[in-house]
Amino acid sequence: MSIAGASGLWKPHKQHLCLHQRSTGKKAGRRLTTTPEGKFFFSVCRASSQRREVGVGVGVGVRGRKKADTDFDIVVVGAGIIGLTIANRILTTTNLSVAIVDAAQPCAGATGAGQGYLWMGHRNPRQKSWDLANRSKHLWEEFAMDLVASGLDPLSAIGWRNTGSLLVVNSGEEAQRMQAHVEELVGAGVHADYLPASAVREIEPALCLGDGGAALVPGDSQIDAALAVALLCKKNSAFHSQGRYMELLQAPVLQFSRSSTDGSIEVVHTPEHSIQCRRAVVMAAGAWSRSILATVAEEWALPIIPAVKPRKGHLLVLEGLPYLQLKHGLMEFEYTANYNPVQTPQFSHLLDSQEPDHLDFEISSQPTAAGVMQDEDFGVAMTASMDPSGHLLLGSSREFTGFDVGTRNEVLECIMRQASKFLPALADVSLQQAIGSGRVRTGLRPYVPDGTPLIGPVPGVPGLLLATGHEGSGLYLALGTAEMVVGMITGIEGPVNSTLYSPAGRLSL
């Protein structure tokens, strides 16, 4: 079992405190090392090559270790962007303490593999999550302004750039649909303009749209996810000295202990730590949320399994292309089909099916002239942007492959071909050249069939909240999600209607 999580691997120093396993009187084969900032890391103890067997699965994973050895008000499972922002809001707006538990490192899941879009232009004002997206945009802008007020440069701190976005099409038929989309955006309060291909060429010379056009949303921005996560970790760690924060990394959740009185989760168990949670447990483990809760659903005989499924994406990071520069973030209009998914209550067969990923690109209007390149088991729609270092980021693919994060050349070739339809300068760049001068990122998005994140309490388990299913929008929706979750914990209603995201009726046994 694994939990979504983060970037750089912290290496323990010999001077840092080593806590041996407390359940035996013998020297343990693994140890828990902590930094002064409160970050925990498991490493092999040199004093012994033995390893205590902790077992696998609910009911046997931590038998004899039901008693907690540390306690916090809130335990957040998952150190991705959602978990970290929830923890940060708890720490900065309440007096509660919080521990983050993750089987990996911060930003090791979907967020770290993405392009860092903070966009409204590709969203549909009629979708359920519109208000949450709008609120999140406002909170990210406040976050950037707070950085300026504290003397930090948003570009250096989190890679913040107000690039604006171009949602593009390359045919006249698509252009009509695009104009209707722009009208919807403007009607919903978004500053957006439709530009014909000739006008687009003036502001983005590398882009070729034939007789198509683009929706320009100048207020859209981009950030560097890894920088943002590193800053959040630093901000959160500042509360360690007050005894209010702990990161327990490389520590998969093995079991939950429930109260015999009200059924709430009292203790979260990892291989070498048991954390008592006095108030709430927040499941923010992205694509892994389903598998974690599935381990206890049968034993508890409760429908608590979220309809979340990992969906892999590839992203090419190209270097050494000085002749191809972009001023805006780009996205093919067909990509927006993913943000207006089919509404269906039949989740179970979709989660268990191994059928091709057909939901994304067959649910918008009729197929277009440009279309989306689609293999029998994956789909690709063009996205392109520049990162703060001048690298060209090309995407984007979607496919169901379980938890496999391996790269596939056929997907990368498809990404290159689709991008070259809009950026002709890429036509002569082979995949071998692209990979040779760059690198490939893959990540697992937490997909849900109805396209609406699951945010809120789990019926039947008091104090257990979900914050998952954001698919490719976790980074953008993180601050709004954190505000909503903390509001639920403190009983303070926020500006976004949280009932739209309720897990009730969307969980299975």
**Domain membership flag for residue 8:** no
Same domain, 296 and 437: no
Asked whether residue 470 is domain-assigned, the answer is yes
Residue 33 lies in a domain: yes
Q: Do residue 288 and residue 178 come from a single domain? A: no
Looking at the structure, tell me whether residues 271 and 355 fall in a common domain: no
496 within some domain = yes
If asked whether residues 300 and 251 sit together in one domain, one would say yes
Q: Which two tokens stand for residue 308?
A: 């979340």
Residue 115's pLDDT band (boundaries 50, 70, 90)? confident
Range of lowest pLDDT (72-76, 184-188, 363-367, 451-455): 363-367
Q: How confident is the model at residue 430 (pLDDT cuts 50, 70, 90)?
A: confident
pLDDT over 70 at 47, yes or no: no
Overall number of domains in the chain: 2
Check whether residue 298 and residue 400 sit in a common domain.
Answer: no
Residue 37 has pLDDT above 80, yes or no: no
Instruction: Clarify whether residues 201 and 332 are in a common domain.
Output: yes
Place of tokens 């403007």: 186
Looking at 447, 470, 487, which one is the last position of a domain? 447
Whether 304 shows a pLDDT value over 80: the answer reads yes
Q: Which of residues 407, 430, 447 is at a domain's end?
A: 447
Q: What percent of the chain stands above pLDDT 70?
A: 79
Same domain, 401 and 491: no
Residue of 168, 162, 218, 163 whose CA lies nearest to 193: 218
Whether residue 185 has pLDDT greater than 80: yes
The pLDDT of 335-352, averaged and rounded, is: 44
Q: Does residue 143 fall inside a structural domain?
A: no
Nearest one of 323, 351, 453, 445 to 395, comparing CA atoms: 445
Phi first, then psi, for residue 59 (nearest 5°) are 90, -20
Q: Which of 425, 447, 469 is the last residue of a domain?
A: 447
Task: State the chain's maximal CA–CA distance in angstroms.
Answer: 76
| Tokens (6 digits) for 222 | 């981009």
pLDDT at 376: 57
Pair 212, 174: CB distance under 8 Å: yes
- Three-state DSSP state, 92: helix
| CATH number, domain with residue 207 | 3.30.9.10
pLDDT above 90 for 24: no
In which domain, by residue range, is 230 found?
17-112+226-308+451-508
For residue 280, what is the domain's CATH number?
Answer: 3.50.50.60
DSSP per position, 194-238: EEEHHHHHHH-TT---TT-EEEEETT-EE--HHHHHHHHHHHHHT
387 and 436 fall within a common domain = yes
Indicate whether 300 and 395 sit together in one domain: no
Residue 478: pLDDT over 90: yes
pLDDT at 10 over 50: no
Q: What is the pTM of this model?
A: 0.82
- Asked if residue 325 is part of any domain, the answer here is yes
Whether residues 34 and 183 fall in one domain? no
Q: Is residue 12 included in any domain, yes or no?
A: no
Q: What is the pLDDT of residues 365-391, one digit of tens each?
A: 233 333 445 555 889 999 999 998 889
Please indicate, yes or no, whether residues 212 and 265 belong to a single structural domain of this protein: no
At residue 67, the pLDDT reads: 65
Decide if 257 is inside a domain.
yes
Residues 245 and 324 in one domain: no
Helix (H) or strand (E) holding 146: helix 130-149
Spatial separation of the C-alpha atoms in residues 236 and 476, rounded to whole Å: 19
